Structure 1
Amino acid sequence: MKLLYSPASPYARKVLVLAHETGQADAITVQGATPSPTAGAPDVTAHNPLGKVPALILDDGSCLYDSRVICEFLDARSKGPRLFPEGEARWDALVRQALADGLLDAALITRYERVLRPEGLRWDAWDAGQIGKIEAALDRIEAVVADMPVLDIGTVAIACALGYLDYRYPDLAWREGRPATAAWYAVFEGRPSMTATEPPKG
């Protein structure tokens, strides 16, 4: 299998963390891609018409996207640990994954607004609204973190989201006023799956 990815993508990191945790990292070859929100990316759109990463090319040439689909596919084929629980616990894990992905959606489009959009066209109220969503998601994580299991797709997604905030939004200081989340992440970010998938420095 081949994973089209960007080393800075938190969604691609989520896939790779799950692959490590389920013992499948060696079954995946990673290939850097050049997606852009403003221009076509032929190396990606040839496989994913949305032009987004991650995209997983299977042995038969078919392609899976987005990160939620890829993670569930890899989990279903895992012969070891499973990160998508069954029964009632499944819905809790999926909601936490959705919470983390929603946080990332807001963080990514805010970065595009701040970095790619010409300064004179930026909309301060829109930026503030997205940061408000990030803050609300962080507050919700703080409220539930004590009851989270050690490892499932929800915890992986949350950890990758927090890692992205450290990577792209250090000035947000998300740990302030959220001691439980800060303590939880200090432990989780030390997992081998997380250290093996850290985004590039700089």
Structure 2
Amino acid sequence: MLILRSSPFSPFGRKVRIAAEVAGLSDRITVLAADTNSAEDSIRTQNPLGKIPALILEDGEALFDSRVIVEYFHDMAPEAGLFPPGPQRFAVLRQQALADGLMDAALLQVYEARYRPAEHHVQSWLDYQNGKTDRALAFAAERYTLPKTGTPDAGEIALACALGYLDLRFAGTWRQRHPALVDWLAAFADRTPAFAETAPPTA
């Protein structure tokens, strides 16, 4: 049995869980919560960076980060189509990289508010991270809102999780500016039941 160390609030962990479901691998994975703030949590030995998600293989080795884990799932179940063959693979990898960067920028803004006193916030740094999210959303709205059918690929999964995280931590303020992405996310959720199943708690 594979063990996924994650948190229900992690957008990267959500990405991995949806990818596992799409690849038909969920029944082979046990999800165990990790507390990245605790020095006693074994996540710091499983992943020396102390970050989630991490996938513990049956031989005890750990894979990290989310991109590596999704690649591992693709290797286990290539027929699921997480990554297409040929040149189209790089388009999917780019979409995943964009979404991962969007999640990183959003997380850094959340961490600034959570771990630093307000009087020590650096507005220019927050503006820099917010600029990344704005540009990434504009790029995604231009490139990735064409209707699609069938099972999603890794790029689509990552983008959906990034938008879901913005809904969770930033009250969905992106929605007014990017109605095409709103429609895209609704269509993604309709054809990907795992998106609702992996939604983080709201309280």
CA contact (8 A) 2:146 2:184 kept: no
1:19 partner letter: A
Aligned to 2:80: 81
Matched, 1:21 2:22: yes
Query: Within 1, Cα distance between the matches of 2:114 and 2:20?
Result: 31
CA contact (8 A) 2:34 2:41 kept: no
Matches within 5 A, 1:181-200: 181-190=181-190, 191-200=192-201
Q: Aligned to 1:176, what secondary structure does the other structure show?
A: helix
Aligned to 2:53: 54
**Alignment deviations for residues 168-190 of structure 1 (CA, whole Å, 9 cap, x no partner):** 111x5112232211111012123
1:30 partner letter: V
What 5-or-longer segments of structure 2 have no aligned partner? none
Matches within 5 A, 1:11-160: 11-36=12-37, 40=39, 42-78=41-77, 80-147=79-146, 149-150=148-149, 151-160=152-161
CA contact (8 A) 2:147 2:184 kept: no
CA contact (8 A) 2:12 2:66 kept: yes
Aligned to 2:175: 175
Query: Within 2, Cα distance between the matches of 1:177 and 1:42?
Result: 40
> Quick one: percent identity of the two aligned structures?
42
What is the Cα-based RMSD across aligned positions, in Å? 1.5
Task: Check 1:110–1:3 CA distance in 2 against 1; reply closer, same or farther (3 A cut).
Answer: same
Q: Aligned to 1:3, what secondary structure does the other structure show?
A: strand
When normalised by structure 2's length, the TM-score is: 0.93
Q: Number of paired residues?
A: 199
**Alignment deviations for residues 1-51 of structure 1 (CA, whole Å, 9 cap, x no partner):** 000001100000000000011111110000001013xx6453211100000
**Alignment deviations for residues 130-189 of structure 1 (CA, whole Å, 9 cap, x no partner):** 11110110000000123475421110000000000001111x511223221111101212
CA contact (8 A) 2:5 2:43 kept: yes
CA contact (8 A) 1:15 1:70 kept: yes
**1:195 shift after superposition:** 1.1
Query: Within 2, Cα distance between the matches of 1:197 and 1:93?
Result: 22
When normalised by structure 1's length, the TM-score is: 0.94
CA contact (8 A) 2:19 2:157 kept: yes
What 5-or-longer segments of structure 1 have no aligned partner? none
2:128 partner letter: G
